[in-house]
Amino acid sequence: MDKNEIVHIIDDDTDVRQSLSFLLRTAGLAVREHESASLFLEVLAEAREGCIITDVRMPGIDGIELQRRLSAEGNNLPVIVMTGHGDIALAVEAMKAGAVDFIEKPFDDEVMIAAVKAALARRAGDRERDALSAEIGKRLKLLSERERQVMRGLVAGKPNKIIAYDLSISPRTVEIYRANVMTKMQADSLSALVRMALLDGGLE
């Protein structure tokens, strides 16, 4: 686990916070407790890695409003919402607002630990995709405008002859540009090139 990953527990019930904190710490997870969403939002700038567990019903800012504010701040930490019995409608609303999971109280310890680990794994995957997208963006900037045009044709599934016709150049010239594109993008196959284009979306 990344040492910077912290599970933020937000609940106005002290007993729930402490028992959940104990459970997660025994599972080897770093935890920070917050007794309200307002107090958590005060330290939001420090919360860039990890995930959030929040009760859906809290005085002041509830779990759903918290998600809306996180979204407005551009904070995409995965959120797990805890709901009481009969709060399924609220749980569905929370999922629509962006929660990655909801767990009903009283919850099974193993279910909660599994949900937190899944949220952390999802966050790690997001970081990897962001890093890869940034790297692909750098490679795209190395392409000339003509090379970008050829790449668009390749990604669209067009054969060299059609690309050549569209750009009013010879098929042999397209082959040269294609080789340059593959080298600069560090793509070892056409499928790899297509995946890069789909991930970055920067060819439009």
Going from N- to C-terminal start, the domains of the chain cover 6-130, 142-200
Residue 36 has pLDDT above 90, yes or no: yes
Q: Just give the CATH number of 6-130.
A: 3.40.50.2300
| pLDDT tens-place string over residues 162-177 | 999 999 999 999 999 9
Instruction: Give me 119's structure tokens.
Output: 């949220």
Residue 203 has pLDDT above 70, yes or no: no
Q: What pLDDT score was predicted for residue 201?
A: 64
Cα angle value 42/46/49 (rounded, 5°): 125
Q: What is the distance between the alpha carbons of residues 181 and 202, in angstroms, rounded to a whole number?
A: 14
Residue whose pair of structure tokens reads 């630990």 in the numeric block? 113
Query: Is the CATH number of domain 142-200 1.10.10.10?
Result: yes
- Per-residue burial over 85-102, b if 16 or more Cβ lie within 10 Å, else e, is eebeebbebbeebebbbb
| pLDDT tens-place string over residues 40-85 | 999 888 877 889 999 988 999 998 899 889 888 888 889 999 987 6
